């Protein structure tokens, strides 16, 4: 068995509502918060083996239960394999749902996905 990634290293999940955080505050919406654990986005092995790194910005529709209903690529990387991996994996992300007051609401959030071979910093999920 050859060594390789089972997850994306250095993945950053910083959701932002599609209109931006300022828009969310104006509407009284608290954005969804990513639930960290095992990251479901897998680094494409062919790009891992070639030491290729990249970034993809996806937009996810987070429903009132914190699950992702839809995913779309907002800013693709230079590699289709990264874009596809980000979309596949983003479908399995989980969030604490967005809220408007006491009510859970469905919102779009932007999620940057960083494919990197650099080790994670201590304390970074």
Quote the tokens at residue 47.
């790009």
Percent of the chain with pLDDT over 90: 64
For residues 91 and 6, the model is more confident at 91
Question: DSSP readout, 69-104?
Answer: EEEEEEE--S-HHHHHHHHHHHTT-BEEPEEETTEE
Q: In this predicted model, what pLDDT tens digit does every residue of 55-109 receive, in sequence order?
A: 999 999 999 999 999 999 999 999 999 999 999 999 999 999 999 999 999 999 9
Q: Enumerate domains of the chain plus CATH numbers.
A: 16-115 (3.30.2420.10)
The whole-number pLDDT of residue 120 equals 63
Q: In this predicted model, what pLDDT tens digit does every residue of 57-69 receive, in sequence order?
A: 999 999 999 999 9
């Amino acid at each position: 068995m050859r060594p390789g990634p089972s997850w994306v290293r250095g993945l950053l999940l910083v959701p932002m509502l599609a209109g931006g955080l300022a828009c969310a505050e104006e509407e009284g919406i608290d954005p969804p918060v990513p639930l960290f654990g095992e990251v479901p986005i897998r680094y494409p092995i062919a790009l891992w083996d070639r030491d290729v790194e990249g970034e993809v910005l996806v937009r996810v529709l987070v429903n009132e239960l914190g699950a992702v209903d839809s995913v779309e690529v907002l800013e693709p990387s230079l590699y289709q394999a990264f874009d596809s991996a980000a979309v596949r994996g983003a479908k399995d992300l989980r969030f604490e749902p967005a809220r408007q007051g006491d009510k859970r609401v469905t919102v779009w959030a932007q999620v940057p996905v960083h494919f990197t071979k650099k080790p994670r910093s201590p304390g970074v999920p």
